[in-house]
A and B are shown apart, each in its own frame.
Chain A
Amino acid sequence: MRLSSSSPSSLSSQEQSRLPQDALAGRQALRKAHLFFQRNLGGYLFLLPALVIFALFVWYPVVLGFIMSFQIVDMINPAVWVGWANYRHVFSDPLFGIAWRNTLAFTGYALLFGYFVPIVLALLINEMRHGKGLFRLAFYLPVMLPPIVTAFLWLWLYNADSGLLNALLHLVHLPGALWLENQGTALPALVVVATWGAAGSTMLIYLAALQGVPASLYEAAEIDGSNLWQRIWHVTLPTIRPIMLLMLVLQIIATMQVFTEPFVITDGGPNNATMTVLLLIYNYTFKNADFGEASALGVLLFLVLAVFALIYMRMTRRAMEGD
């Protein structure tokens, strides 16, 4: 190792006196390039599979999406450039406003149901001296189920004639309802399904975050005479606040992509009451074979989500720098 590194340098110092200046520079550049390759080639080889996969299956479709949004694409005829026509069509579609309103309403309801419940659950479960494992299991179990199972299961629970929900209501002499057939209740009903299927994972993240609250802080707060609420307000919540903000953004990003529940349970109905943006993209593509319009709507969804993703990036960077 030592021998090989010293011999070429001694050789070059001998040559230095004989060779003209520019040839020497050329040799040095060559040696530099050789060293660069020797040092980096292994790294690039290891990166090659990921670079190819990411280029071909993330970056290329992202760029293709922007291009297709300005084209008529039907997968049969060659693509034709149409400028902003796709965007104009998408904007003038009466379903456009409905889909966005439903998607935002879904996100809003999902935060209402799904944001505070996991925090409260995690706070309570973290205080338990018994059955912690059971509670964790119970609330996390639905997360493991395939979404298609969750969707069909709740389709059955909401069944107007013999579903569990109406049966329970009849049991306490309350009238049942046509949960999925009623325009007013269909969307909230789907939010319940999505929350049921996802709240457990959020709860586990909060449970993990709560483990990170130093016990000494609680003890110090107690010595200072604080009560339970003051400790929650001044010790617990400030400590888990970064995670709470992070989860808020993540939950917004995740719920705005809602698809499986409205697709499987209500198929966008009744009367488009559960038509979401992603479902509209799906319909443009596979019902109208209009890939260009679908891409245009995809680009719009991308722009909206990118705002939240940028907030998310800024927050994680701050959190990392804070470490």
Chain B
Amino acid sequence: MALFTQNAQSSASRQKQRPRQRVEESSERTLVSPLMLKRPAGRVIYWTVFALLLVSTLITFGPLYWMFSSALKPSIEIFQDPPTFWPLHPAWNNYATAWNVLQYPLYFGNTLILAAGAVVLQLLVSATAAFALSKLRPAGKGIIQFFFFSTLMVPPVVYLIPQFVNISDLPLIHVSLINNWAGVWLPEAASALNILILKSFFDTIPTELTDAARLDGANGWQIFSRIILPLSRPALAVVTIFTVVASWKDFLWPLLVLSNPDLQSLSVAIYHEAGINSNYPLPFNYLMAGLVLASIPPILLFLLFQRQIIRGINLTGLKG
């Protein structure tokens, strides 16, 4: 067990400096040598770069701050010129208004359901396929792998419209999934990237282990659910988080599929409620408050799962 988690975390732990591991400390040596940093000139340059980086974080923190502060401004103050840096009279009830106008509980709930369904379905579809390709290796594995992985070359937007036609009248069974959460879940369940990530992780689990289980009389399902899945928690966590984030960020497809306001996700609902091209657009202070409400969950998610997300990027980015 220890072997596998270590194996899986090796890329992530490289990011963290563990004092007890001398070897990793030496790999902390980068472009600039430690000696250079000790010289006065080196220090000046180092701290200058540090300060420059700090200033450049304003490029991302600035707009975010502006979103939070605009959300607190009363309707008159938000259009004041020059604008106030911090609202003179913070209007906390903007959030209450946005909460009501956006029907936050309803759409937050819908977004959660969409994300949860995506996770369940994607894990089920990708993990079973990855297990079969990695450990069961049935005849014709090469062709099947090509069938999955060549879809990496086809971005979903190029078959956006036929997919819409497909969803509104499924072949053979003639069922429409328009205004049905399944219409969002099913197309995104076809994720070759997930299969690739999970398969390459399953490949690191020694075959001796599955062979031993088979000798003890375990069948395929037992090997999958009792050995492979418990050992693959780090990879499953990565896939789960990425699925949740992707589902939370998804906009165009849910916009097309979910025209019924009761089923829409937060992103789609915000787009409709903002009414940017209509005669009665939502006032900017309420809109900003709504945006803050919609960004808090993903920001919290990132703060909580930073390590897994970075590990996931290492897994997907380098393998890519």
Name A's B-contacting residues (CB within 8 A): 1, 36, 39-40, 42-47, 49-51, 53-54, 56-62, 64-65, 68, 73, 75, 121, 123-131, 133-142, 144-149, 152-157, 159, 161-162, 164, 167, 170-171, 196, 200-201, 204-205, 208-215, 218-219, 222, 228, 231-232, 235-236, 243, 246, 250, 253, 257, 259-260, 263-264, 267, 278, 281, 285-286, 291, 294-295, 298-299, 301-302, 305-306, 309-310, 312-313, 316
* Of the residues A65, A125, A259, contact of B158 by C-beta under 8 Å: A65
- How many contacts between A and B, using CB within 8 angstroms? 312
Further 11 A-B residue pairs, CB within 8 A, beyond A46-B128, A153-B67: A47-B128, A50-B148, A56-B166, A65-B158, A142-B63, A209-B317, A211-B15, A219-B33, A298-B160, A298-B161, A299-B158
B181 close to A (CB within 8 Å): no
Give bound CA distance, A215 to B224, whole Å.
Answer: 40
Chain A residue at minimum C-beta to C-beta distance from B49: A124
Given A43-B138, A54-B148, A167-B81; A260-B291 close (CB under 8 Å): no
Q: How far is the CB of A264 from chain B (nearest CB, A)?
A: 7
Contacts of A260 in B (CB 8 A): 251-252
Chain A residues lying within 8 Å of B49, measured Cβ to Cβ, are: 124, 127-128
**A138 touching B252 by the CB < 8 A rule?**
no
For the complex, what is the distance from the CA of A45 to the CA of B288, rounded to whole Å? 49
A219 to B56, CA, bound (A): 30
Check A44–B138 contact: CB distance below 8 A.
yes
A149 partner, pick from B79, B125, B162, B291, beta carbons under 8 A: B291
Q: Contact between A161 and B81 (Cβ–Cβ < 8 Å)? A: yes
A253 to B80, CA, bound (A): 41
C-alpha spacing A228/B36, complex, angstroms:
10
A250 touches B320 (CB 8 A): yes
**Are B128's CB and A144's CB within 8 A?**
no
> What distance in Å separates the Cβ of A315 from its nearest Cβ neighbour in chain B?
9
Q: Is the CB of B82 within 8 A of A257?
A: no
A170 neighbours in B (Cβ, 8 Å) = 81-82
| Alpha-carbon distance A145/B268, docked complex (angstroms) | 14
The answer to whether B161 and A68 have CB atoms under 8 Å apart is yes
Q: Chain B contacts of A53 at CB under 8 A?
A: 125, 186, 189-190
Q: A36-B139, A210-B30 are in contact. Are A56 and B161 (CB under 8 A)?
A: no
Select A219's contact among B29, B162, B270, beta carbons within 8 Å.
B29
Chain B 89-126 residues near chain A, CB threshold 8 A? 124-126
How long is the Cα–Cα vector from A212 to B57 in the complex, in angstroms?
A: 25
Assess the B189–A57 pair: CB atoms within 8 A: yes
- Contact between A218 and B66 (Cβ–Cβ < 8 Å)? no
A51-B147, A167-B81 as given contacts; A228 in contact with B291, CB under 8 Å: no
CA distance A127 to B34 in the complex (A): 10
Residues of chain B touching chain A, judged by Cβ–Cβ distance below 8 Å, are 11, 14-15, 26-33, 37, 46, 49-50, 52-54, 56-57, 59-64, 66-67, 70, 78-83, 124-126, 128-129, 131-133, 136-139, 141, 144, 147-148, 151-155, 157-166, 168, 170-171, 186-187, 189-190, 192, 195, 215, 219-220, 224, 245, 248-249, 251-252, 256, 266-268, 270-271, 274, 276-277, 284, 287-288, 291, 294-295, 298-299, 301-303, 306, 309-310, 313-314, 317-318, 320
Separation of A228 and B15 alpha carbons in the complex (Å)? 23
Which of B132, B164, B190 is within 8 Å of A285, CB to CB?
B164
CB-CB nearest 6 A-B residue pairs: A43-B138, A50-B129, A43-B136, A205-B317, A46-B132, A309-B153
Q: Knowing A148-B267, A162-B78, A208-B318 are in contact, say whether A46-B220 is a contact too (CB < 8 A).
A: yes
Give bound CA distance, A260 to B141, whole Å: 38
Closest to B288 in A: A156
Which of the residues A123, A141, A201, A210 comes within 8 Å of B313, measured between beta carbons?
A: A201
